[in-house]
A and B are shown apart, each in its own frame.
Chain A
Amino acid sequence: DAGVIQSPRHEVTEMGQEVTLRCKPISGHDYLFWYRQTMMRGLELLIYFNNNVPIDDSGMPEDRFSAKMPNASFSTLKIQPSEPRDSAVYFCASSLARAGGYEQFFGPGTRLTVL
């Protein structure tokens, strides 16, 4: 089975440009999460969806960040305009809701560099 798929794997862009990160969760999973990881702040939850509906976006740093999940098999995280401090690894993860504990499966991440 395919795991969580993210694209692109690497992105280098210039300050002010729009960046779109893409994620395909594991088929059948009903939760999707977007994380950002930096050396300074570790792994931070940005936003998560349940059945394509955003549940908690309190981790989204500011209005420059937006996320959508138009259907169960696709989500995007957009940064517009991008800034050098947005440079990080962005992970997408998915999970299947069940009581008593669960596992989040992470994609390989997108390494973003904003010059």
Chain B
Amino acid sequence: DSGVTQTPKHLITATGQRVTLRCSPRSGDLSVYWYQQSLDQGLQFLIQYYNGEERAKGNILERFSAQQFPDLHSELNLSSLELGDSALYFCASGDSTGRLPGTSGSLGEQFFGPGTRLTVL
């Protein structure tokens, strides 16, 4: 058990709808990362939050958005869903900034939640 929780485990919805995926990071982790894993695209980094602020963006569509709340849990919002959005969505938590090696929280490893499987019909 990584200590990262994600809800729901499974989500089935229709095209055009909007869904919200939730993630709670490990205790003490300030960073939350979202990834999308689909069969043809592999593991794609979507977005990172650190202590409530967006810090890095990857291949995230404009129809998708995320936020991190004061209690550090995060939500990924997916709107105007398309068939191609069907995928596993993972949340990971980890250390904080890219500080210099040897300083606290500089290692970069991430701990993944069990994922939410989204099926768009």
Q: Determine if chain A interacts with chain B.
A: no
